[in-house]
Every structure is written in structure tokens, then in C-alpha cells.
Structure 1
Amino acid sequence: MPRGKTRHNLEVCGDCGAADATWASVNKGILLCTQCCSIHRSLGRSISQVKSLVKSTWNPNQLTMFYTLNNNGANNIWEHALLENGSKLLRKKPNAKDPISVKQEYIKAKHLQCAYTFREQYEDGLLSVENELGKQLHASVRSANLETSFRLLTSGADPNYFHDEKGSTPLHIAVSSDQKLQVELLLVYGANPNSPDSQGRTPLDYSRQYNNKELMSRLIESQYEVTDSFSYYLALRKPDHAAGVHFWIPATGFKSNPASLSKLQKLTNPVFEELAMDVYDEVERRQTEAIWLSCADTTELNVVPFLPVDPTLSTIRNQGRQKLARFSTPELKTLVYDVLIDTQRRQMPDKARTTEDDDDPLYDSVAEDEDYAEPIDREEEPVRNKDSIISIGSISKTNQVLEQLTKQLKNSDNTITDLRSEVLKLRHYVKTLQTENFELRGRMGKKVHFSNGDSGFDSLEFIAEKQVVDESPSDKHADEVDLRQKKTSQRPTSMYETREGISKVANWQALKAQIKQNENAKNASSGLYGSPKEREMVLQCTEQITRTIQLLCKSIQDLEREECVASGAKVGKAVAKLAGTIPQESEPEKIKLMLEASSKLQLECLSLQIARLKGDGKSIDVHFSNIRDIGFNIAKYTKDIVTKYSASQW
């Protein structure tokens, strides 16, 4: 095994500097002493994947990958904030002699909260950032530069990112480029060896194409990692993948529990996979526990006696995971045996599978402890022979892929058919509009002459189109109903045709006078909004109110900034300026409401700042909600004023 740059990187704990680092955090790329390893184990496998350098089983390429990361300063990524200003520690790290409580506080901040990890600031959205990191990872795995890929993965790059232009995932590229250490790194971070590219080929297909037997063997092992672990836990034996045997069930020594097996068979495939992963985590925890207890310096260290809580999972599932620790060794082995049996049934393509609807609860369907703990009757043990060793080929996976592709093609055909019918309808509608437009242009080509010498807007024809009738007050209501009926009957058949019945209107001089009277009334009402210069000033004030409200929203969302009170004062000044500019007789009620709201807003901003200083979370939420509501009301009043003043310009 090649050793790296410095003795420090190879032989000391990455968290406290202890010299007896015999454990490793595979996904963190650092060595661990026994005490720090106990804390990492309490964090859970989702945070730190712990293995013994001495007694655990390692794949050679995985061990080489780990030492490469450790020797090239992988720990500097997790301690970036502590190594600024010329590699001088801004905060003292715990040393080997510090109490375990001090180490625990530091390790949780470093690995659970990632408090010292470098995080770049991106202006784009989260989706754009993920795409950019995925593209960089897709390019990085082509080379042997393992540190760059590790930095991208720790920054949030998706190991299963699908490059739309290249039509592949990083694992496809790493296998094609024969980068074995990059493959190991991607597998540690959850890369799926069964993911197809744009041509439907998996990374395993690429390894077969290039006749890379080492990578092909490693990818097959990763596909059956869970079931191989179960077989090894039951009988210390794994299937021979090189001989084409990918699934092995012990022929003797174990008996299936009918009750638990019946419940397993009723689970849907996604729920069964979740249960199998939880059982796998518990099996790995117990195997690591056995290695842990065999070390002389671990007897006084306390470790969580069950699977730690995974914050990414639901509460019910975490409770179910912790219940697995209550199983005795024989009970857990019986459950593992049943999971292997049902996995065989689900993997066989020629057997009908019974599943429940997807609406069933996800984790409540798992059998309770007393169901798994039923006494085992050895007399009813069925006879098993060589047929228990079953080789699972790729036929079932190919059938599943073909079924999914068939469904997708069918849905695509239905969508294309619907779109074609919509296009035909739109084309017919466009042709209709073109015909009407052509007719309209023909009519507009003929000049219209008014025989009475009036202009177009004062002519009899224009007044008749408005259908304004000068009537006596006594008959007003009845004639208004008749007028609405006339308008309804005279609705044009298209947007380009004029109404008929012009010649039926009488007393057009009276109608003309009525129209002029209405226009004078309209001009009088619009005069309340002042001159064009005043309207422009009002619009500027409303724009200033909008900008100050936006600044206020940003200031109250950032807990570290103390600009809330100043932003509220700016809103109040903008409202006061608007109240001094707009004529009071035009919007007296809205101006009064806006002034009252701005006063309340400044008080709420001051209260929010005080609550933040006190750390009162409940009060912060109340004042935050009040500020948001008041800001919304001010913006609403401002919008009404802008609408009226904009309309007055016309």
C-alpha cells in the first residue's frame, strides 16, 4: 500500500491528533482513534461510515482510495475554516488527552453540522448549482484526480447526476476511463451501478464491453452487497459471483417464520427495499460492534446500543429501525433468512408476486417484535437441497426496463395525439380570424362620409353605437331593462363586425347633448388627480414605497443583519412623502390607513429587533408575521393609488 505525503496524515486521528488511529471513516476520508470512532458511530452511518483498518474486510481498491484521500489532505476540506490565515488554527482543536465530551462537541460541529467546511456562495438557484456541480463531477472522474471529485461530492454533487448532453452518469464515465479509485469513491457516496445511460446500457455493460474483469467483478459485488452481507451473516459464506451464482441461501440450520414471511410477502417492493436496508444497517452495526468489543481500549466507551436516528427518515421508520436492536441473535437471523427467501421470490421473473396498493402505510406494515420472536419449531423444517442456491440473471431486470420503456412510449404517443388535435383546432381558428380580418380591411378601405358635417365622435352613427337614450325619470327603470335587452340582441358575431339598428335611434340631438355632459363629468372627476407633473410625483413616491418594502422584506429574513428598524423607518418616510404629495380630497381614506399602517410597522420592526436580541423565537415569529401583513396592506393601498393615477393619464 503506498504511503503518502506526511506521517501526520497517515497515522494520527483526523479529529484529535491521537497517534493510535486504527479506525477509518470511509466517506470522510480520515483516520480515527478509538474514542473519536465511538462518537462517529453514535452519529450514524448516514453521517460517517466507520470501518476497522485491522479487522474489517476491505476491498483492495477501496482501501487504496481511502489512503489516497487521507494522504492528500481530505481532512482539510472538513477543517477549512480552521486553517485560514496561513494555516494557523483560529480555533483550538481537541487533543488526544481532552475529555471525550470536548471531542464530542467538536466532532458534531465538524461532521454533523459541517460548521468548518468551505461553502461557495452561488447567486443562481439550487437547481442551477446542482447542475453545475454534477457537470464538474462528470468531467472530474475521467482523470485520476481523486481529490477534486471528493471535494465536489462533499459540496453536494449528485453521484447519480445524469448529464443531458453526454447521456450518462459519472459512474459510466469512470468505468469507461478505467478509473478504479473514482469508481470506489462514487460507490461509497451512493452511485447506482444499475443506472442506464441514454442508450440503456449500465456501467456493468461498459465493463463487459472493455473486458475489464476487475471492474466488472466489483460492480457485480456492489449490486448484491445487501444479500451478500445477509448470506455472510448467516453462514460466513458469500455466493460465487465469478461462477454466475449471485444469490445464496443456507440449505440447513435455519427455518423460516411463517407469520413474518407472510407479512413480508404483502409489502410493496419499495417498502420491502426500505426494510431490507434497515436490516442491513442493523447487521452491519452488530458486526462492527463485535469488532469493537474485541479491542482492549473500548470497554469503557459507551456507544448507542441501537441504530442512531437518521434525520432524513420519518419518525416511524426510525422507531422501527431502533426496534431491530431488541431482537436476539437467533431472532434477527430468522428475520434475515426470511428477507433472503422473499428477495428470491421477488427476483424470480416467472413467479407471480402479490403486492398491496401503494396507498398502504410505508412502515406500519412491518411485523412487530412478537411476530418475529415466535418459537422456532425444528420438526417442521422443510427439506432443502441444492435448488436453494439460485442464480439471478439479468432477464428480470431487462423485462422491467422494457415494461417501463413501453409505458413511457405509450404515454408519449397519447400526448402527441392530443397535441396534434389541439394544433388542428388552433389552425382552424387562425383561418377564421384571417378571414374576418380580410373582410374588415375591405370595409375599412371604403371612406365614411358624415352627412351632418359633424366629426366621427359627435356623429349620429357614433352616438347610435353607444346606445345612450335620453329618457324621463319616471320611465327610467323599465327603459333601462329594455336598453340592456337591445344591447344583448345587438352583440356582434365577431370582434370586427359593427352593431346594427343605427337607423332605429330617434332624437339624436338629445343623445349628443347627453354624451357631452358625461364627458364633462369625467373630465371634472379626473381633475382631482392634479396636473401631469403632480401625477408623475405621485408615481415616483409609490415606486419609492415599493422599493423600501422590498428592502424591509430582505432585512427581516436575515437574522444576522440589524437593518429592520431602519428599513421600517424608510417605509414610513416614503408613505409620509406620498401623503404630502397626493391631494387629500382624492384618497382621504387610503392616505389615513397608510399613515396608521406605517406607524404600526415601525413599532413592529422595533419589537422584532428586541425579540431577536433576547432570542425569543415565539415573539420573533409573531412580529415577523405582523410586519409581513402590514407591508402587504401598504403595498395594496399603494397599488390602488397607482392604478387610479395611471388611468387618469388617459
Structure 2
Amino acid sequence: MSRAKSRQNVEICGDCGAPDATWASINKGILLCTQCCSIHRSLGRHISQVKSLQKSSWHPNQLAMVCTLNNNGANNIWEHCLLENNSKLMKKKPNPKDPISLKSDFIKAKHLQCIYTFRDNANYDEGLENELGKQLHASVRTPNLEMSFRLLVQGADPNYFHDERGTTPLHIAAKSEQKLQVELLLVYGADPTFPDAHGKTPIDYAKKNVNKDVLNRLIESQYEVTDAFIQYLTHRKPDHQNGIHFILPQGGFESNPSSLSKLQKMKNALFEQLVMDVFDEIDRRETEAIWLSCVDAIDLNVVPFLPVDSTMSKPRNQGRQKLARFSTPELKSLVFDILIDTQRRQMLAEKGPNKTHLREYSPVSDDDPLYDAVAPDEDYATLPTIQETEKPPETPNSNVEELTKRLQQSDSTISDLKAEVHQLKAHLESLKTENTELKSRLSQVKVTENSINGDDFSSLQIISNGDTELRQNRKNQRPSSMYETREGLKTPNWQLLKSQIKQNDQSRNATQSLYGSAQDKQTVFECTELITRSIQQLCKSLQDKDDCVASGEKVKFAVARLATILPKEGEGKNIKFMCDLLPFLLTECSSLQNANKQGDVVAADHHINKIREVAFYLAKHTKEIVTRYSSTQ
């Protein structure tokens, strides 16, 4: 589906196409009709966070984020396989008039199992996770919200720590004043208090901005749970801009001594889990109240308790569902007690030497089992008092024996660590030997095809001096990502190159020939089709004067994916030449973008011609690969 077509009729349900979309899924980035929303609510808040567009309370940035994702075709990410030509699934979307059972099956497959979502065939190892994290790190500095959303859906970590820059994506988004990017990262669990390499948090970066909208939003995100509790009791919200972050209701509520005593005995980790469960229950009840006020929701099923979360243990899921039995006064009393104990625990945390998280200064240890070990309510009546649980002082002999045992354990641990260090040193020596061999192999590589328009690619040279360098006629170097520039090229990461070559060798040796399997041929055809679409999108961006750097990165991703599945024999020459063209393509895209910013029409036309020539040769070699694979069928 084209981008222009996907942006038509955006005010419709993303799952069935109904025109009366009055609900929205925040973390899915789509609008929903009332009937599809009922199915989303039954999946649970951990799968889909739904809100009413008309009656729920929205933060302006959050609403703008959801509308932007919906308008830019975020639903195509969840239905990627359905939009592909000749889809193997052959699954059609339900219509607004289809029965709710049919819609339920489709929505569970789409959002719970995510079988229509695009997933890279490569294994999600540490290298791929780092690549997704770096791309997200670069994407959040721009208004391209759809790209960041796509990376998060594919598994990018919103708290990814960039080793070279020493920051997380939220640091970059806050520093760049990208309000919608900040909102998206917060929805997916980014931590606004995470420090960078210099000990600064995203809030510290936001304080330097002229516009304080991002700063206020980051501060509010820290108090989301307590704000929800306070608003549930008093219908008021603390004034965070003036430093008022906590309001304890003064009248109309009484603390339950028995309940408060139980809360105070909880470990901090267990207490936090209880708070989150109560928060989910309050959200369920408030959404249920809005739901019942809808006329078209009368005949639909309600959600009587919190749905089961498969990531939690069975006892905790049972405890979450028991919260539905609380009457409104009982739940408010529990919330009031939680606020009192939260204030007490926060005061204990502030008395600590570093004012760290309250978990470190709990009066009880956090080393014991957490939620699964909670006792039933009847057991609290027989809890021993503090005096009964106190143990008599140990004798000096017992202390000596205990210390002796600990010393023996420490000696054993030290011996094990020494042995492990010795093994690591031996492994390091072998890696150094392999690294030297790899350098000698890479230093012999030369560009064999440089006949495009005489001197068009004469500036691409691989110098065998121990490091691989890309020398160009101009001073500007290739950007380190689709959104960033850098002063000069860094020394190649030989360890990473060696790891990539090993992975390619393993994947190629595992398959004797791609010509023998129809499934493998289909995979090659899909990859070549992805390259063709990426080249078409690049040409379209040249015509529309859009961001061609991002389109060039997509071409690079498509070619790299094809390179990982082709064998060493057969198409090695074609794919090697295509990979050699990619640095030149990205350099020209970056130069074209700079020329457009400076208004240099002559330079822009020159770079456009170079990009089209490279695109032509990429398409040519792609066609040769497709032709050769087609002839073997």
C-alpha cells in the first residue's frame, strides 16, 4: 500500500475499517471503533492501552503523538504481511459488519501474536539489538515519529545506552526538543531519571531548553502513579511546575491501621508491584465507567477484572483479579493507605546518604522472594510481633565459625575467578591471532568495478595500509547514521567485522545452494523486491525533494539483507559490487541534502544525477540476480 493511499480516511478503525472510531490504542498508534475496543480491553493493558478520544483525560502531547502515528500509517506496521503482494497468509481484514467473533480472532492474531508484523529473519542477538538501538538513537532527534515507532515495534530498547555517545534515546529527544518523540519513548517505558555518562538525566537536558514543555512532561511522568491515585481520591492534580509533587487528602478519608501495618511490612519491590496492580485496577474502573456511558457499548461484553498477564506468575494474576472484589470505598481506603506509606518510604529514601531509590533504604531486606511468596490474608492475623521475632544474641564461637565459613567460600570464589581469567586470556590471544589474519585479508581487497561514467567512482579507493579508508574529492565524510554527521572516519571495528563475516559464513555454509529450494528462492525474490521498492522510494524522494538520506539508508538495509542470504558462489560478484556502491550513494545523499539547505541548485543537480546513476546500477545488478534465480525454476 502506498503512503498516499494509507493516509486516506485516517479517522477510521484500524482493525475493521469502521468510520466511527471514538477510541484509541496509545501504544499501538491506531484508532478503534467501540466493538474492536472491547476486544482490545479484554487483551489487557499490557497488550493495548485504550482511551476514549472524547471522554478520557489526555495530555496534549500524548494525543498529538497518537494522531500523528495514526495519520502516518502506523497501522501498516502491524499489518505488514497483509499488505505484501502474494501474501502467504491470504488473510483478509474483517469488515465493520462482520461478527465480533471473527474480529476477535483477527485482533488477537494481529496484536497479541503479532503474526502480521514485519520481523527480520535474523536472530535477535546482541549485534542486531545494538543496531536497532543505534538507529533509534539517531531517529529520535528528528520529527520522523513513524521511523522510531517502527524500530520500537521491531524490538529496539527505549533505554538503549549508546556506548560511544554515553546517552539514551530519551536524552537525545529531550535535548532536541522533540515532544512527540519524548512521548513515544515514555509510552514504551523510557526512564526519565536514567543518567548519561556524565551523570545527567533527560530532565537536566530539558532544563536547558527555552521551551519548558518537554521539561514539565518529563517531571510529570515521574509521578504518573501517585498523580493517578491523588486524582482518583480528590479529583485534583499536583502542581508540578511550582514544585508541588504530592498531595495527601486531608478530609473524608481514614487510614485502616490493619491495612497500613501490612503495607509497612512489605518489601519495597513487593510494595511497588502492589502499587502497579492497584494503578491498573483504577485505570480499568475509570475506562469501564466511560465504556458504560457509550450507547453502542450496551450489548458488548464488559471486562469485570484485570485480564491475565502471561509474564506474571499465577498467584500475582489471582491477586490482581481479587482487586475487582473491592468496593469503591474499600479501594479508596487502600489507595489512601498506599499514599501514606509511599510518603513514609520516600522520607526514608531521602534520609539515605545518596538519596537513591527508596528500595535501598527499606527497613526490610529485598533478598527474599517477591510477589509469589505473599501470604493469604488469613495469615496476617497470626504474624508474630517484633519482640517475638527477635533472636537472642549469638555467642562468640558461633560468630567465629560463621566467619570461617565465609572466608572459605571467598577463597573458593577467588580460585574460580583466577581460573576463569586464565581462560579468558588464552581466548584473547586466539582472538588477536584471528584479528591479524582478518586484517591481512581485508587489506588485499580492492574495488574491481569502477567504470561508471569514467571518474564518477574514481574517488572510491580501498587503501591497504592496515585500515580501510574511504577517500573522496570533497572534505565532507559519510554520515555515521541517517541523521548524524561526523568529522572524519574512525578506525574500523575489526572485531565487529570479523563477527559479521563469521555469521555470513555460517549462514552460507548451512545452505549448499539457493537454487535448490523454492522457499529460498522466494526469500531472494522478497529481498530483491524490497531493494526495488527502496530504489523507487529514493527516486520519488528526489522528485519531491524529501529527505533522501533516510531513503538511502533503506536501500542500504535492503541490500545488506540480500547479502546475508546469498551464497558465496554464484551472485558474490554482483552483491559485492552493490555493497561497494552503498557508501558512495549515502555520501551523495548527504551532499544533496546540504546543497538543498544552502540553496546551491547546480550542486544539487549534480548530486541528483550521481544518485540516479548509482540507483541504475543497483537496479541493474538486482535484475541480474532475479533473472538468474528465475531461470532455475
Percent identity reads: 66
| Residue of structure 1 equivalent to 2:157 | 158
Q: Spell out the pairing of 1:327-406 with structure 2 (5 A cutoff).
A: 327-348=326-347, 349-350=350-351, 353-365=362-374, 368=377
CA contact (8 A) 1:13 1:19 kept: yes
Deviation at 1:268, TM superposition (A): 1.5
User: What's the secondary structure of 2:31's corresponding residue?
Assistant: strand
Deviation at 1:130, TM superposition (A): 1.3
Q: Does 1:313 align with 2:322?
A: no
Going from structure 1 to structure 2, the CA distance change for 1:220 and 1:551 (only over 3 Å counts) comes to closer
Code of the aligned partner of 1:287: E
How many Å separate the matches in 2 of 1:205 and 1:278? 30
Deviation at 1:275, TM superposition (A): 0.9
User: What's the secondary structure of 1:166's corresponding residue?
Assistant: coil
Going from structure 1 to structure 2, the CA distance change for 1:353 and 1:18 (only over 3 Å counts) comes to same
Going from structure 1 to structure 2, the CA distance change for 1:17 and 1:269 (only over 3 Å counts) comes to same
How many Å separate the matches in 1 of 2:65 and 2:224? 19
How many Å separate the matches in 2 of 1:360 and 1:422? 32
How many Å separate the matches in 2 of 1:57 and 1:88? 42
How many Å separate the matches in 1 of 2:376 and 2:252? 23
Deviation at 1:319, TM superposition (A): 1.0
CA contact (8 A) 2:16 2:93 kept: yes
CA contact (8 A) 1:144 1:179 kept: yes
CA displacement, residues 149-202 of structure 1 (integer Å, 9 cap, x when unaligned): 000000011101111111111000000111111000101111111111111111
Deviation at 1:371, TM superposition (A): 8.1
Larger radius of gyration: 1
Q: Which moved more, 1:33-42 or 1:356-365?
A: 356-365
Going from structure 1 to structure 2, the CA distance change for 1:364 and 1:300 (only over 3 Å counts) comes to farther
Q: Does 1:215 align with 2:214?
A: yes
TM-score (norm. length: structure 2): 0.57
Deviation at 1:90, TM superposition (A): 3.5
| Residue of structure 1 equivalent to 2:148 | 149
How many Å separate the matches in 1 of 2:197 and 2:238? 32
Code of the aligned partner of 2:174: V
Going from structure 1 to structure 2, the CA distance change for 1:317 and 1:17 (only over 3 Å counts) comes to same
Deviation at 1:270, TM superposition (A): 1.4
| Residue of structure 1 equivalent to 2:30 | 30
Q: Which moved more, 1:34-43 or 1:353-362?
A: 353-362
Going from structure 1 to structure 2, the CA distance change for 1:357 and 1:10 (only over 3 Å counts) comes to closer
User: What's the secondary structure of 2:371's corresponding residue?
Assistant: coil
CA contact (8 A) 1:306 1:325 kept: yes
CA contact (8 A) 1:35 1:301 kept: yes
Q: Does 1:84 align with 2:93?
A: no
Q: Does 1:56 align with 2:56?
A: yes
What are structure 2's unaligned runs of at least 5 residues? 353-360, 382-409, 423-505, 512-518, 521-633
Going from structure 1 to structure 2, the CA distance change for 1:341 and 1:240 (only over 3 Å counts) comes to same
Q: RMSD between aligned alpha carbons?
A: 3.2
User: What's the secondary structure of 1:24's corresponding residue?
Assistant: strand
Q: Spell out the pairing of 1:80-229 with structure 2 (5 A cutoff).
A: 80-85=80-85, 90-122=90-122, 126-229=125-228
How many Å separate the matches in 2 of 1:81 and 1:58? 32
Deviation at 1:551, TM superposition (A): 8.6
Deviation at 1:91, TM superposition (A): 2.2
Code of the aligned partner of 2:11: E
| Residue of structure 2 equivalent to 1:74 | 74
CA displacement, residues 279-304 of structure 1 (integer Å, 9 cap, x when unaligned): 10000000000110111111111133
Deviation at 1:422, TM superposition (A): 8.2
Code of the aligned partner of 1:100: I
Going from structure 1 to structure 2, the CA distance change for 1:422 and 1:284 (only over 3 Å counts) comes to closer
Kindly tell me the number of residue pairs found equivalent between the two proteins.
383
User: What's the secondary structure of 2:238's corresponding residue?
Assistant: coil
Deviation at 1:64, TM superposition (A): 1.0
How many Å separate the matches in 2 of 1:280 and 1:156? 26
Code of the aligned partner of 2:363: T
Going from structure 1 to structure 2, the CA distance change for 1:39 and 1:310 (only over 3 Å counts) comes to same
Q: Spell out the pairing of 1:247-258 with structure 2 (5 A cutoff).
A: 247-258=246-257
Code of the aligned partner of 2:59: N
CA displacement, residues 566-593 of structure 1 (integer Å, 9 cap, x when unaligned): xxxxxxxxxxxxxxxxxxxxxxxxxxxx
Deviation at 1:89, TM superposition (A): 9.5
| Residue of structure 1 equivalent to 2:45 | 45
Q: Does 1:263 align with 2:262?
A: yes
| Residue of structure 1 equivalent to 2:300 | 301
Going from structure 1 to structure 2, the CA distance change for 1:258 and 1:364 (only over 3 Å counts) comes to farther
Q: Spell out the pairing of 1:493-572 with structure 2 (5 A cutoff).
A: none
Going from structure 1 to structure 2, the CA distance change for 1:324 and 1:370 (only over 3 Å counts) comes to farther
CA contact (8 A) 1:167 1:198 kept: yes
How many Å separate the matches in 1 of 2:6 and 2:136? 27
How many Å separate the matches in 2 of 1:146 and 1:7? 15
CA contact (8 A) 2:17 2:96 kept: yes
Deviation at 1:361, TM superposition (A): 4.1
Going from structure 1 to structure 2, the CA distance change for 1:194 and 1:63 (only over 3 Å counts) comes to same
Q: Spell out the pairing of 1:417-496 with structure 2 (5 A cutoff).
A: none
How many Å separate the matches in 1 of 2:173 and 2:5? 25
Deviation at 1:85, TM superposition (A): 1.6
Deviation at 1:7, TM superposition (A): 7.0
| Residue of structure 2 equivalent to 1:627 | none
Deviation at 1:242, TM superposition (A): 1.3
Code of the aligned partner of 2:371: L
User: What's the secondary structure of 1:10's corresponding residue?
Assistant: coil
| Residue of structure 2 equivalent to 1:391 | none
CA contact (8 A) 2:43 2:112 kept: yes
Deviation at 1:312, TM superposition (A): 1.1
Going from structure 1 to structure 2, the CA distance change for 1:189 and 1:6 (only over 3 Å counts) comes to same
| Residue of structure 2 equivalent to 1:326 | 325
Deviation at 1:86, TM superposition (A): 8.4
CA displacement, residues 305-353 of structure 1 (integer Å, 9 cap, x when unaligned): 1001111111111111111111111111111111111110011124985
CA displacement, residues 54-75 of structure 1 (integer Å, 9 cap, x when unaligned): 0011111111111111011101
TM-score (norm. length: structure 1): 0.55
Going from structure 1 to structure 2, the CA distance change for 1:214 and 1:367 (only over 3 Å counts) comes to farther
| Residue of structure 2 equivalent to 1:276 | 275
Going from structure 1 to structure 2, the CA distance change for 1:370 and 1:13 (only over 3 Å counts) comes to farther
Going from structure 1 to structure 2, the CA distance change for 1:68 and 1:211 (only over 3 Å counts) comes to same
